[in-house]
Chain A
Amino acid sequence: MLADLVRQRREEVLAFARQRLTELMPEHTVQQAQEELPSLLDHLLVDLSGPADQKDPKGAEVATEHGRRRQRLGVEIQFVVHDFGVLCDAIAIIAGRAGARIDAADWLRLNRSLDLGIATAISGYEERRQMQERQSTAVEIGGVAHELRNALAAASTAFEAIKRGRVGGASRTSEIVTRNLSRAALLTSDLLLGSRLQAGRGLAPSAVPLRPLIDEVVGGISTPGGPPFRIEAGADLEIVADRDLLTSALTNLVQNAAKFTPPGGKVTVRARRNDQATIVEVEDECGGLPPGSTEALFAPFEQRGSNRTGAGLGLSIVHKIMLAHHGSVRVRDLPGHGCAFELHFTHRAPE
């Protein structure tokens, strides 16, 4: 019986399987895979000792957890299959070396156990991946709701002050109302665009002249009390893009720039074209980025202390919008001065 042979040569089977794993698996996952081999083999052995038509092979019992652990490690799904495959290879090879023949009933037991083990491990893997995705969406929505409530609280408190007649309608307080209502509107449209992008609905591309678009976005954001804007964009520059998405990306960048530029500073919006791409750039005078990875800026709700609060969702949406356009968003740190966020629209060959 195959089970007896595997039991006798357990260490040999494991050694072979361990070796195969080092050849097959990504380096950082080898050790964990090797550590899990004995328990996978033990369950396989239970199945190999049972009846050939066993309804619920034991191998599946440990497999769900096994799949979840692989997902947690960030291992790609195909490697979940390898863990079981190397055990099957090892058993066949070691049996061969021992001159033992594997009969049909044993093959059946082995295959059933492996099939169910793999299927269960993959379900465990997938279940955990989906849970993670749901969690990150929930965190994102929670973050927007929080920012939205902050904007509304500022607007309604300022409105209350005006209503009580203590401050004039053209005051700084009324600007707080305007600024925070447009912040709330932008957050809401970011949410809508985010869900539109996530649903995978296609873009609506058209030729978009950049200068009028920049004028429109800046016009919607500039206020008498806010920083002055400078626009440097040739009248002839245009790109093919989804106008709504492009407007949202630029609005996010310009609003962030206005928010983080202290009194006395200005915001510059430029558009230019080089051999590879058309670039729209928003430069602020925030004083420069704190040291650390600029990549993390584009993750939802990346918060870096008090000086870039609330940029989280906006930048993550900008990143998604640029991906949908086969472009990219980059940031240039201008230490001691500010930073420049760039939207890169790569030139594409005419289709």
Chain B
Amino acid sequence: MKPKNGLTLECADDPPAGTRPRILALNDDHDFLDALDELLSAEGYDVVTTTSAEEALTRACHWRPSLLITDLNMDVCDGVEFILRLTERGILAGVPKVILSSAATEVVRQRMRQSGVDAEVFDKNGRIDVLLEAVARLARRPHPG
């Protein structure tokens, strides 16, 4: 699958109906990713984790997750900017996205509004059942495209 131009990637089709919801997680903390993988897999999701923004981009395009969970503040990249990059390339349009932040969430929402990024923001240190509920609601939601 070659990129049509510098920005657009030719992505895979949606996974067949009936498969387990897929979650792609991007974070620069290995331990956090491992723990999240453990937790979400046990909840019945197919999980792919990565610490690389490039890999996350490729996975987003070819593996077609039903939900993206990205950290906000990473050494490798910034969560909001990562989502912007996806949007520019037309990847995961209409797929719900979650940003995990350890900073003040309201500041993050404001930044997102300014850059036109649509995602739900959760405190990384908040209650995990709240996050899991949101994941269940978002990942199992039918979405266009």
Annotate A125-165 by CB proximity to B: 1 below 8 A, 0 otherwise: 00000000000000000000010011011101110110010
User: Range of interface residues on chain B?
Assistant: 20 to 34
Whether B124 lies near A146 (C-beta < 8 A) is: no
> Restricting to B60-89, which residues have a CB under 8 Å from any CB of A?
73, 75-76
- What distance in Å separates the Cβ of B105 from its nearest Cβ neighbour in chain A? 13
| B34 CB within 8 Å of chain A | yes
Given known A164-B42, A166-B38, A176-B31, contact A156–B128 (CB-CB < 8 A): yes
In the complex, whether B49 has a CB less than 8 A from a CB of chain A is: no
Contact partners of A150 in chain B: CB under 8 A: 29, 32, 102, 124
Are A153 and B125 interface neighbours, CB within 8 A? yes
User: Is A179 at the interface (CB under 8 A from chain B)?
Assistant: yes
CA distance A158 to B128 in the complex (A): 10
CB distance from B136 to the nearest CB of A (A): 14
- B28 in complex: contacting residue of A160, A172, A180, A309, CB < 8 Å: A309
Taking the complex as formed, is A77 at the interface, i.e. its CB lies under 8 A from any CB of chain B?
A: no
CB closest residue in chain B, given A172: B34
> Which of B39, B76, B102 has the largest count of A CB atoms less than 10 A from its CB?
B39
Are B32 and A146 in contact (CB-based, < 8 A)? no
Interface residues of B in 8-36 (CB under 8 A from A): 28-29, 31-32, 34-36
Chain A residues whose CB sits within 8 angstroms of the CB of B102 once the complex forms: 146, 149-150, 153
Given A153-B102, A153-B125, A306-B28, are A158 and B51 neighbors across the interface (CB < 8 Å)? Answer: no
Q: When the two chains form the complex, which single residue of B31, B38, B39, B125 contacts A180, counting CB atoms closer than 8 Å?
A: B31
B31 and A154 form a contact (CB under 8 A): yes
Besides A153-B100, A158-B35, A173-B35, 20 new A-B residue pairs in contact (Cβ under 8 A), listed by A number: A146-B73, A146-B103, A149-B102, A149-B125, A150-B124, A152-B125, A153-B29, A153-B32, A157-B32, A157-B39, A157-B128, A158-B31, A161-B38, A161-B39, A161-B42, A167-B38, A176-B31, A179-B31, A180-B31, A305-B75
